[in-house]
């Protein structure tokens, strides 16, 4: 539901700035979360309306990470900044996955009750943001000419002709499509290759390992990229794509506990941890187009492609997960080839010197 609003979010960022956009979106999100908790269970119509309200606000918050990194951080630190942004989204998912069952088992709450708790908890967070956050720092982190960007309309025209950005965009879509589909179908895929012998609790543990290693890698890999002498993103992306292929191979051939744990680590580190680096690669390939515009296109396509991949896997392979894994391998190999085709600019051209 939120996908059609990703491009709209970029336009709003350009018109009123990320601070006002996120402030308004946060308040609206809080309101619809509380409404869903109080009246969402009263009728199907109320549930649909409140759910749509929650979904629509997300692009106006998530897409701010690129703008914040551009306005608040020098170019040489934007990989790390985007890594922290990605971590916040992962932690939000983890909080929901573990927080809702805990609230239900400990306090006897139902889903509407859990939504009320999250809604009320968001109030002080939103107030803290509105009071203390600012659009720009008092002193720009880089020369003003490195912060200025072309307009939304002009940026869209430029991106359609920018081969380097298109390659980076396709790499991001492909890797996110594999990640989205794989994590959604993790249990049936693992059970397929282990003849249904795996315990659900162990599969959940593998998912936790994947998430934890992803969070760590999302911090470490961008830091390595930012602090390297060349500050090039492409070599790390290539290494991660090869590592992701190893993780996918271990799903098929790794039947011991040790190999399955190694598989989860590989996928967490290389398939998920590479995300902020690919995004920064896209920003730098797209310069001087606004980070908000490029992030919107990357997130929009990634979500849409992820859904298409999931529907295709379920519709075409119908539980034959060897076909699913071949699909994943092909997508990752294509992303590897596209990455090799990207001619990454020099430090001066990327405005990092």
Report whether pLDDT(231) > 80.
Answer: no
pTM: 0.79
How many other C-beta atoms are found inside a 10 Å radius of the C-beta of residue 272? 24
DSSP secondary structure of 211-258: HHHHHHHHHHHHHHHHHSSS--SHHHHHHHHHHHHHHHHHHHH--SHH
Where does residue 136 rank: exposed (0-12), middle (13-18), buried (19+ CB within 10 A)?
middle
Is residue 217 a contact partner of residue 237, using CB atoms and an 8 Å limit? no
**pLDDT at residue 198 is higher than 50:** yes
In this predicted model, what pLDDT tens digit does every residue of 144-181 receive, in sequence order?
555 556 666 777 788 888 999 999 999 999 999 999 89
pLDDT of residue 3 exceeding 70, the answer is: no
Q: What is the mean pLDDT of the chain?
A: 86
94: Cβ contacts below 8 Å, ≥ 6 apart = 211
pLDDT value of residue 144: 52
Residue 42 has pLDDT above 50, yes or no: yes
Q: What is the pLDDT of residue 159?
A: 85
In DSSP notation, 50-97 reads HHHHHHHHTHHHHTHHHHHHHHHS-GGGHHHHHHHHHHHHHHHHHHHH
pLDDT score recorded for residue 240: 96
Contact call for residues 278 and 171 (beta carbons, < 8 A): yes
Question: Residue 353's pLDDT is what?
Answer: 47
pLDDT at 149: 62
Give the pLDDT of residue 284: 84
Reported as a single tens digit per residue, the pLDDT across 87-146 is 888 788 778 877 888 888 888 888 889 999 999 999 999 999 999 999 988 887 765 555
Amino acid 98: pLDDT: 79
Mean pLDDT to the nearest integer, 184-196 = 89
Write the burial class of residue 197 (CB in 10 Å: 0-12 exposed, 13-18 middle, 19+ buried).
exposed
Place 23 in a pLDDT band, splitting at 50, 70 and 90.
very high
CA-closest candidate to residue 222, choices 338, 81, 51: 81
Structure tokens at 116: 């009320």
Per residue in 251-299, pLDDT (tens digit) is 999 889 999 999 999 999 999 899 889 988 988 888 778 777 787 788 7
Dist. CA 63–CA 68, nearest whole Å: 9
Domains and CATH numbers, the chain: 3-134+144-341 (1.20.1250.20)
Asked if residue 325 has pLDDT above 80, the reply is yes
Tokens describing residue 154: 């002009």
Q: Which one, of 292, 263, 295, lies nearest residue 278 by Cα?
A: 295
pLDDT confidence band for 20 (50 / 70 / 90) = very high
The mean pLDDT value for 19-26 works out to: 95
Which helix H or strand E contains 48, and what residues bound it?
Answer: helix 44-57
Percent of the chain residues topping a pLDDT of 70: 92
217 has a pLDDT exceeding 70: yes
Residue 196's SS3 state is coil
- Which ranges constitute the DSSP H helices of 108-143? 111-132
Q: Do the Cβ atoms of 252 and 30 come closer than 8 Å?
A: no
Q: What pLDDT sits at residue 289?
A: 81
Q: Output the pLDDT for position 197.
A: 82
Q: What is the pLDDT of residue 6?
A: 64
pLDDT at 126: 95
Confidence check: pLDDT of 38 > 90? yes
Contacts 24+ apart (CB under 8 A), 323-328: 324/181, 324/185, 324/189, 325/189, 325/248, 325/251, 325/252, 328/178, 328/181, 328/182, 328/248
More confident residue, 348 or 232: 232
Helix-then-strand count for the chain, H and E: 17, 0
**Is 57 in contact with 122 (CB distance < 8 Å)?**
no
């Amino acid at each position: 539901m939120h996908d059609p609003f990703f491009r709209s979010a970029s336009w709003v960022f350009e018109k009123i700035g990320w601070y006002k956009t996120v402030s308004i979106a946060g308040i609206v999100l809080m309101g619809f979360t509380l409404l869903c908790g109080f009246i969402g269970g009263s009728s199907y119509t109320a549930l649909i309306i409140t759910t749509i309200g929650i979904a629509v606000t997300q692009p106006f918050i998530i897409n701010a990470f690129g703008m914040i990194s551009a306005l608040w951080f020098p170019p040489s630190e934007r990989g790390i900044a985007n890594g922290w942004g990605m971590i916040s989204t992962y932690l939000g998912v983890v909080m929901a996955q573990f927080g809702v069952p805990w609230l239900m088992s400990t306090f006897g709450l139902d889903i509407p009750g859990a939504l009320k708790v999250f809604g009320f908890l968001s109030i002080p967070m939103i107030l803290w943001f509105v009071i203390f956050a600012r659009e720009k720092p008092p002193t720009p982190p880089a020369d003003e000419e490195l912060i200025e960007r072309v307009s939304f309309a002009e940026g869209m025209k430029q991106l359609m002709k920018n081969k380097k950005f298109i390659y980076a965009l396709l790499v991001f879509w492909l890797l996110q499509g594999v990640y989205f589909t794989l994590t959604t179908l993790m249990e049936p895929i693992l059970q397929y290759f282990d003849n249904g012998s795996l315990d659900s609790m162990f599969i959940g543990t593998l998912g936790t390992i994947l998430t934890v290693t992803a969070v760590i890698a999302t911090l470490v890999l961008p830091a390595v990229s930012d602090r390297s002498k060349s500050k090039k993103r492409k070599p790390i992306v290539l290494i991660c794509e090869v590592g992701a292929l190893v993780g996918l191979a271990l799903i098929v051939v790794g039947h011991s506990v040790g190999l399955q744990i190694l598989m989860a680590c590989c996928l967490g580190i290389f398939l998920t941890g590479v995300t902020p680096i690919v995004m920064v690669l896209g920003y730098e390939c797209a310069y001087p187009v606004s980070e908000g515009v490029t992030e919107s296109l990357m997130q929009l396509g990634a979500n849409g492609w992820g859904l298409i991949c999931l529907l295709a896997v379920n519709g075409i392979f119908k539980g034959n997960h060897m076909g699913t894994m071949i699909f994943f391998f092909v997508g990752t190999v294509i992303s590897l080839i596209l990455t090799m085709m990207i001619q990454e600019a020099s430090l001066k051209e990327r405005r990092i010197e």
